[in-house]
Chains A and B, each alone.
Chain A
Amino acid sequence: MKTVTPPQCFLAGQNLRRWYNPVRLKLSSASDEVSAMSPSPQQISQLLVAWSNGDQAALDQLMPLVYGELRKMARRYMRGQPAGHTLQTTALIHEAYLKLVGQQEKRWRNRAHFFGVAAQAMRHILVDYARSRQAAKRGGEALEVSLDETALVTQDRAAELVALDDALNDLAEVAPRQSRVVELRYFGGLSAEETAEVLKVSPETILRDWRMAKAWLLRQLQRGTA
C-alpha cells in the first residue's frame, strides 16, 4: 500500500488559490513610471520561453527586470499602507506578472517560469533586507521606538531568514534541486505542479524533495542556534 503523508494529500491545488488572492495591489496610476527601456510583454514571454528551453542568458536578462519590478511595486504599495499591514509576497509576484507579462499570456508554462524567476528575485530582496537589518542591529542603532508592530517582530525574523538563506546555500551544495524547490515554493509560493514544471520533474518528486529539504533545513537551522 502506498503511504500518503498528510501534507502531500492536501498540497495539490492549494497554492494555486493563492494567486487569486482578493487583496489586489492597486497602485496609484499617477505615480506609475513608464520606462522607455522596459521590454514589452511579448519580449518577456520570449525570454521566458528561452529560459525554459535552457537559455541561461535569458534568465540574466529577466532577473533584473523582475527584481526591479517587484521592488518598485512593493515600495509603492507599502508607501500607502499603514504600518503593520501585511504584504503578500505571492500577491505581489502575481501583480508583477500581470504588469510585465500581462493577462493575455495564456500559456501556463510561461507563467510558471515567470514565477520561477520571481521566486529567486523575492529571495534576494528579502534576504538582502534581512541582512541589512542584522547589520544595523550589530551597528547598535540605539533608539528603537516604533509604533510599527512588524518592525518589532522583524529583528528575530530577519535573523531567521538570513539563517535560512545560508542553510539553503548549504543545501544547494549537496542537493541543488531540493534547494531550488524550497526557493520556488517558499519565496515564490509555487504549487507542487508549478514547481514541477519549472524544474522539469514530476510533482511527486517535488513533494519528496520538499519534505526532505524541510527536515534537512530545519536540522541545519537548529544546529546553528544550538
Chain B
Amino acid sequence: MAAATVAAGHSLMKGEKYHQLEELYHQALEREPDERRAFLEQACADDLALRREVESLLGYDERAAYFIETPPDDVAAAMLAGEQSQSMPGRTIGHYQILSLLGAGGMGEVYLAEDTRLKRKVALKVLPVYFTADRDRLRRFEQEARAASTLNHPNIITIHEIGEIEVAHYLVTEFIDGETLRHRLMQGRLEISPALDVSLQVASALAAAHEAGIVHRDIKPENIMLRGDGLVKVLDFGLAKLTEAPTPSVSEEASTAVMLSTEAGVVMGTAGYMSPEQARGQKVDARSDIFSLGVVLYEMITGRAPFEGATSSDVIAAILKTEPPPLGHYLPEAPAGLERIVQKALRKDREERYQTIKDLLVDLKVEVRTKEPALTSGEVTEQRQTSSVEHLVSKIRLHKRGAAAILVALFVAIAGVAYVLFFAEDKKSIGSIAVLPFVNANADPGAEYLADGIPESIINNLSKLPNLKVMSRNSVFRFKGQEIDAQEVGQKLGVRAVLTGRVAQRGDALAISIELVDARDNRQLWGQHYNRRLADVFAVQETMAEEITEKLRLTLTGAEQQRLAKHPTENLKAFQYYMQGRAYTQRRTREDLLAAIRYCEKAIGEDPNYALAYAGLADAYSNLGVRGYIAPIEGLRKAEEIARQALALDDKLAEPHVALGQVYVTYSPSNFSLGDRELRNAIELSPSLSLAHLYLGVSLVRQGRLDESLEELLKARELDPLSSVIARQVAVTYHLRRDSVRALELLREANELGPALSATWEIGAYIQNRLFNEALAELEKAKRERRDDPILIYSTGMVYAAQRKRPEALQVIKELEEMSHANLDQAHWIAKIYATLNEKEMAFSWLERGLATGAIGVFYKDEPVWDPIRDDPHFADLLRRMGLPQ
C-alpha cells in the first residue's frame, strides 16, 4: 500500500485546492453527464490540473455506488474465528505436539498434532471452555464419547484420549486424512451413487451406536469425514451432550426452545439438521438422528438444505412447519425410491418416521442395489415393487430405450401428485395474496431497489393470473419497513395469503428468502431460500412466481405459464433505474415526476427494448399533464406517443394499455370507446391491475353508466384498499348516484388514507349535504399544505356560492380568471360556481369556453351541481357535443 500512496501522491490536492475540487465535483454531479465536460471547461478555466482531477473523480462516482456500503462483517467474523487458533501451533499439550490448525467449528478448533510417544498423527480438538465448565455435562460427554469409541466400528472415529490443559478440555482422536462432507458439498451436490454410499456408511455407524444406546444428536455434514479411500467416518459422538440443556422436561419445552435458538453456539450452525423434537427442546431418541441423516441425504442429493432461513429461528420454524420440496423438484431424475426414503426420514412426527436406523439402512441398501444396473446401462431405472404403480412401471421398463424418458416423467408426476396430496390439506386454491415489500436485510441502500423491485415484479407477474386477486403495489407498500403480522395485514387488505421476504446482496451474491403465510391463522404455508448470483435476479423472480402459484394451488394454462415466464428486461442496470423511477412516480409532485422521467429514460438507455420502462415514462408524462405541471395537452400527447412505443415493443404488456386508457379518458372525452377498449384490454392481460379498473370506472361514470362504474371501482378498491384516490373515486360514483351518505363515509375514509381534498367534486359532496362547516374545515386543513393550489381557491368559491355569498364567490371567479397558466379545469370550475349561484347564462358561457379551448377536464354530467341547468336544452346540446349520452 505504501506504493499506492506514493503513486497517488502527485494528485493529492490539499487545503483550499481541495475545497475547490469538492465544490466543482458536487456542482458537476448536479448536471447531466453530457453537460459536465462543458461545465468544467468553463469553471476550471485554465487550471487544467484541477479539471483533470474533478473529471478523474467523476469517473469513479458511479463505480463507487456500492463500494463500502456494507460493513466489513466478513472480516470481523474471520478474524474472530481465526484469532484463537493462532497461538496454538508449536505448542505441546501433554505428549501431543501441535502441528497446525485443521479447522474450526462450533465445537472448537481441531489441530493436527503428533503423538510424541506413539509417533503417530492425531487430531486434537480443543473444546470451548464454557461448554466444559459444567462438570456434569462434561462427564456425560466423556461417557458417551468413550462408549462410542469402544464400539470399534469402522465408520466411527476412534477416540484416543480426553484430557485437560489449563482450563480447556481437549479430545484426541485418530487423524483422518480427508475432507468433511461440508467441504465436499461446498463444491456442489453429490451424484446419487456416492450420496447413497455416504448415507449407508453413516447409517451403519449410527446403527452400531444406537444399538449401544448412544444417540449422536448432531449429525451434520461437518461431522462426517470422507477419507480419500472412500471410507466415511462419523465424528463427535456424544459431543452434543455438552450443549444440551441439563434435563429437558415437557414443562421446560418452551424455554428450552428459546434457549436453543439464541444461545451462542448451540444452534447457529446446526439448526438446519435438528429434528423437530430437538428444535422444540424435547427429549430426543435415536429417531432424531434418523431425521438429521435425512436432512444430510437431502442436501447431498439436491445440493440444498431442505430447511433454510435467514436466521436460525427462521430455520427452526421451517423445520417445525415447512415441508421441503421433493427431491424431484431439483433433480427430476431422482429415483422415486430415494424420494420415499428421504420423505420418510424427514417426517415431522417421529412416530411416522423410520422407527429404527436399521429400517432406513435396509431401504438404502435396496436403493443402492437398484441403482447399480442403472449405472451400467446409463439409464435412470427404478424397480422397487412397493406400489402397484411402480410395479406396473417396472414391467414396462427395461429393454426399451424410450422407456427411460417415460419413466422419468412418470416418477416426476408421481412425486408431484404425492406432494400435492400429502401437503395440501384442503385442495382448494387460495384466491388472494398480498406480496409485501421485502426487507433489505443488510440495509445496504444500494440494494433497496431489489427489496422493492423483486416483490413488485412478483406482483406484476401474478397480476396476470385470472383466478388470483393480487394486492396492488400501492396498498402493500404501505407496510414497507413495518413489523409485519400476516394476520393483521390479511385482515386489512382482505387477502388469504401474505408473502413476505428478505433480500441480501453482497457484491455479486444475492440471497433471498421468502415466506408464504396463511393470513387466517399466521400459519406458514411455505418458505424458500434462494442463493443466486445477482445477474440471476430475473430468473429467480420467475421461479418465485411459479412456486408461489404452485403453493397457492392454482392451475395454470400453458398460456398463463408463458406469461408468467416473461421478464420485462434482462438488464440489471435498467431494472434498477426503472425501480428507482417507480419509487418516484408513487409520489406525484412535480419534482418526483420529473425524477421518475429521468430514471425511466436512463432505464430505456440501458435497455431500449424495456417496454415497461416506456410505460412508466408515459405514466409520468400524463400525470405531469393531468396535474397541470406542464401544458396538459402536451403531457398527454407525449404520454400517448410513448405508450404506443411501449406497445410496439410488447403488446401483451398491460401497463401501456392503461397509460393509453388514462390519456384517452382524460383527453378525448368525445371518444370513450377508445379509452375503454384500451382499459378492458389491460384488464384482460392483467386482471389485478387496480389502475385499469379505476380509469375504466372513471370513464364509465362520465358516460353516466353509474352501475357499471361502481362495479369497476369496487374491484379497484378491492385490489387497492388503501388507496385514497380510489376511495375518493368510489365516493364520486356514490355522490352521482345521489347516495350522499355513502359518499361522505368513503370521503372520510379517503381523507384518512391520503392527503386531504384533492379533487374538485369533493367539496360538491359536502355542499350537497349542506355541510358547509365541514367543507370549510377540510379546505383550511388542505390550505395549510398547499396554500396556492387553484383547486382550493375554486372550492372556497363553491362554498360561498352554496352559502349564497355572491360577492365573495364572484371574487373567487375573478381570481381564477386571472390565473396565468392554463389549467385543465379552470373554465369548468367557474361554470360550476355560476351554476351553483343559479346564474345559468354565465354557467353555459363558461362551459362553452371550456369546450372550445379543451379546458373542460373531467366532466361528470350527473353531478348534482348541474341540477339547476340540467333541464335546459342548452345542457343537452353541450353533452351531445362532448360525446356524452343525454
Contact = CB atoms under 8 A, between A and B. Distances in A.
Interface of A: 1-7, 9-11, 13-15, 17-18, 22-28, 30-31, 74-90, 92, 122, 125-126, 129-130, 133, 136, 142-143, 145-151, 153-154, 157-158, 161-164, 166-167, 170, 173-175, 182, 185-187, 189, 208, 211-212, 214-225
Contacts of A1: 591, 594
* Leading 9 A-B pairs by shortest Cβ distance: A224-B4, A80-B265, A82-B269, A147-B103, A80-B264, A82-B106, A78-B80, A154-B78, A129-B79
B81 interface: yes
Nearest to B314: A22
Nearest to A169: B5
Contact of A7 (B3, B270, B446, B591): B446
Given A4-B595, A214-B67, A126 B56 contact: no
Nearest to A192: B445
Interface string B418-451: 0000000000000000000000100101101100
A129 B313 CA distance: 31
Contacts of A221: 4
Contact of B103 (A78, A79, A145, A174): A145
A87 B80 contact: yes
A15 B443 contact: yes
Interface string B1-45: 111110110001111001000100110011000000000000000
A170 B129 contact: no
B263 interface: yes
Given A175-B18, A219-B56, A79 B84 contact: yes
A17 B762 CA distance: 40
Interface in B239-287: 262-266, 268-270
- If over half of A's interface residues share one DSSP class (helix, strand or loop), that class is named, otherwise mixed; here it is helix
A81 B80 CA distance: 10
A151 B186 CA distance: 14
A30 B264 CA distance: 13
A221 B517 CA distance: 46
A205 B67 CA distance: 19
Nearest to A17: B443
A188 B5 CA distance: 25
B73 interface: yes
Contacts of A223: 4, 7-8
Contacts of A189: 71
18 contacts: A14-B443, A27-B264, A75-B80, A75-B84, A80-B263, A80-B265, A81-B268, A81-B269, A82-B105, A84-B77, A85-B268, A122-B76, A145-B102, A147-B183, A153-B74, A174-B18, A215-B60, A217-B68
A224 B7 contact: yes
B7, B56, B75, B86 — most chain A CB neighbours (10 Å):
B75
A24 B443 CA distance: 17
Contacts of B56: 219
B1 A166 contact: yes
B885 interface: no
B30, B99, B576, B594 — most chain A CB neighbours (10 Å):
B30
A28 B243 CA distance: 12
B78 A11 contact: no
B173 to A, nearest CB: 15
A186 B68 contact: yes
A147 B105 contact: yes
Contacts of B14: 173-174
A174 B13 contact: yes
Contacts of B594: 1
Given A5-B29, A154-B82, A219-B60, A28 B222 contact: no
Contact of B78 (A23, A31, A153, A222): A153
B378 interface: no
B60 A187 contact: no
B5 A170 contact: yes
A86 B77 contact: yes
Contact of A150 (B64, B77, B445): B77
A107 B79 CA distance: 33
A182, A224, A225 — most chain B CB neighbours (10 Å):
A224
A15 B595 CA distance: 24
Nearest to B17: A174
Given A85-B268, A174-B18, 11 more contacts: A3-B29, A6-B65, A78-B77, A81-B268, A82-B268, A86-B73, A126-B72, A130-B79, A182-B68, A216-B57, A219-B59
B788 interface: no
A217 to B, nearest CB: 7
A194 to B, nearest CB: 13
B853 interface: no
B443 A81 contact: no
Nearest to A7: B445
Nearest to A26: B262
Nearest to B448: A10
B871 interface: no
B60 A77 contact: no
Nearest to A170: B5
A163 B112 CA distance: 33
A13 B81 contact: no
Contacts of B265: 79-82
B61 interface: yes
B378 to A, nearest CB: 35
A151 B76 CA distance: 11
A212 B57 contact: yes
Contact of B180 (A79, A136, A147): A147
A157 B104 contact: no
Given A10-B448, A77-B80, A223-B4, A22 B75 contact: no
B401 interface: no
B673 interface: no
B100 interface: yes
B4 A77 contact: no
B60 A164 contact: no
A33 B7 CA distance: 48
Interface string B457-498: 000000000000000000000000100000000000000000
B628 interface: no
B119 interface: no
B8 A220 contact: yes
B104 A148 contact: yes
Contact of B60 (A157, A167, A186, A218): A218
A136 to B, nearest CB: 8
Contacts of B262: 24, 26
A148 B81 contact: yes
B105 A26 contact: no
Contacts of A145: 100-103, 112
A218 B104 CA distance: 34
Contacts of B18: 174-175
Contact of B106 (A5, A80, A154, A218): A80
B182 interface: yes
Given A31-B129, A80-B128, A81-B269, A89 B76 contact: yes
